[in-house]
Amino acid sequence: MTLDLSNGGQVAVSDLGRVAVLLGGTSAEREISLMSGGGVLAALQALGVEAIGFDPAERDLADLKREGVARCFIALHGRHGEDGTVQGALELLGIAYTGSGVMASAVAMDKVMTKRLWLAEGLPTPRHVWLEPGVLQDESVANRLRCVAAELGLPLIVKPPREGSSIGVTKVTREGDVDQQLLDAVTLATRYDADVLCEEFIAGEEVTCPVLGEGASARALPVVRIRAPEGAYDYQNKYFTDSVTYQCPSGLPEAEEREIQRLAVASYRALGCRGWGRADLMIRASDRKPFLLEMNTSPGMTSHSLVPMSARAMGLPYDQLCLLIASQARLDAVPRRTAPAA
C-alpha cells in the first residue's frame, strides 16, 4: 500500500518495516506519553503498518533488535526519551528513529543551553538568570533571589530547565510575600532539576508553531494561538480540561504569522533539529514582539496536542502526519564504509 502525503511525497507502508512506538517511559510526563503513543500506534496500525507499542520503563531496549524492529517512532516526552539518551541507545543498536538526533535532543531539552544558543544566533528569547545546583544550601540564598527579582522584574517565571508540560513551573507576582514566593518556587523547581531557570515574564499572547523537515528543507506549519483561562496554560489545562481554546488558523495579521514561522524555523535550525519539532513563543502585548520560549523535539500527539491541530489546518490528517514522521526516521551515524582493497 502506498499513500500520497500532502506536501510529503509518497510513502510505501511496506517499506517502513516493523515500527515500534516508544511510549510511557520514566519521566514526569509518562502519563502524557502513554496518551501520545497510544494515538500514534492506533493511527499507524489503521494504515496497515506493522506497528507495536514499546514501553522502555517495562522492557529492555535491546528487545527492539531481537524483535526485528526496523525503526522507532519516539512518542516519549521528557527525560530518558526526549533528551538524547534513548536516541543514543538507538544509535548504538543501529535502529532508525524519528525526530532530532542525540545532540539536538539533548540541547533542546535543556532550556538554559537552548537560550545560550539562540542568543548567540541573535534570536529573541526572554531575559533569564540561571541558578546553579545547590543554590538552596547557599547561606545568601534570600539575597540571591532578591537580586534575581530586581534584575528580571516582577512578575517572573521560575522553572526546572529540563522538564516539559509546565511541570514545576511557578509565576512569581508582586502579590503577598515575594521573598517567600521565590523561595517556594525555587524549592518546587529543584524537585525536578538540580539547577533552576528564572525567566522574565512576557505579558501577551502564547502561540506555538510546528516545524517539519531538516536543514534548508525545514518548513513551518500554521501557527496555533492559545487562549487559557486567566493565562494559566498549565499541566492540567493542557491535557485534562476543555477550558483552553485554540485558534488555527491563528487569525494573527499575516506579517506576524510569517515572522513567528520564520523564528520557529530559525530556532529549529540553530539547534540542529530534524524530522519534526514545535517552537513555543510569546507575543509581547506592548509592542507585538515575539519571544522564543522553548523547542519541543518530541511534541505531544494527544487529542489536545497542537502539532496535529496545525497539520490538519494545512490538510494533513493525523494518521498521515504519523506516517510522514515515521517515514523520516533515520540515524545520526554515517554507515562505515569498507576500505577499498589495496
Q: Kindly report, residue by residue over 208-255, the tens digit of the pLDDT.
A: 999 999 999 999 999 999 997 665 545 444 444 567 899 999 999 999
Q: pLDDT tens digits, residue range 242-297?
A: 678 999 999 999 999 999 999 999 999 999 999 999 999 999 999 999 999 999 99
| Fold exhibited by the domain 2-99 | Rossmann fold (3.40.50)
- Known active-site residue 199: no
What is the per-residue pLDDT for 333? 73
Q: Which H or E element spans position 308?
A: helix 306-313
- Known active-site residue 165: yes
What is the per-residue pLDDT for 74? 98
User: Which residues pair with residue 129 across a beta bridge?
Assistant: 198
Q: What architecture does CATH give domain 107-124+203-316? A: 2-Layer Sandwich (3.30)
Q: Which of 278, 305, 318, 319 is catalytic?
A: 278
- Known active-site residue 237: no
pLDDT of 328 strictly over 90 = yes
Instruction: Delimit the CATH 3.40.50.20 region(s) of the chain.
Output: 2-99
What is the per-residue pLDDT for 280? 97
Instruction: Delimit the CATH 3.30.470.20 region(s) of the chain.
Output: 107-124+203-316
Half-sphere exposure of 197 (CA within 13 A, CB side): 28
- Known active-site residue 296: yes
Q: Which of 100, 294, 318, 327 is catalytic?
A: 294
What is the per-residue pLDDT for 240? 46
Which CATH number applies to 128-200?
Answer: 3.30.1490.20
Q: Maximum CA pair distance of the chain?
A: 78
How many beta carbons lie within 10 A of that of residue 95, not counting itself? 18
Q: How would residue 4 be classed by pLDDT, with cut points 50, 70 and 90?
A: low
Q: Which of 173-177, 269-273, 296-300 has the lowest mean pLDDT?
A: 173-177
What is the per-residue pLDDT for 242? 64
Q: Which of 37, 39, 81, 300 is catalytic?
A: 300
- Known active-site residue 122: no
Mean pLDDT score of the chain: 91
Residue type, 192: Y
Question: Mean pLDDT over residues 143-164, rounded?
Answer: 94
Q: CA-to-CA distance for 123 and 291, rounded, in angstroms?
A: 8
Q: CA-to-CA distance for 120 and 80, rounded, in angstroms?
A: 27
Q: pLDDT tens digits, residue range 97-125?
A: 999 999 999 999 999 999 999 999 999 99
Q: Which of 97, 239, 268, 318 is catalytic?
A: 239
Asked if 169 and 157 touch (Cβ cutoff 8 Å), the reply is yes
Question: Mean pLDDT over residues 45-55, rounded?
Answer: 97
% of the chain with per-residue pLDDT over 90? 81
SS3 68: coil
Asked if 51 and 41 touch (Cβ cutoff 8 Å), the reply is yes
What is the per-residue pLDDT for 291? 98
How many beta carbons lie within 10 A of that of residue 231, not counting itself? 14
- Phi, psi of 242, deg, nearest 5: -110, 25
pLDDT of 68 strictly over 50 = yes
What is the per-residue pLDDT for 231? 56
Q: Which of 105, 165, 237, 327 is catalytic?
A: 165
Q: Which of 8, 24, 25, 29 is catalytic?
A: 29
DSSP letter, residue 315: T
- Known active-site residue 239: yes
Question: DSSP letters along 23-56, please?
Answer: ---SSTTHHHHHHHHHHHHHHHHHTT--EEEE-T
How many beta carbons lie within 10 A of that of residue 286, not counting itself? 8
Question: Mean pLDDT over residues 82-97, rounded?
Answer: 97
Q: CA-to-CA distance for 40 and 294, rounded, in angstroms?
A: 23
Q: Which of 280, 298, 305, 319 is catalytic?
A: 280
Q: What is the pTM of this model?
A: 0.90
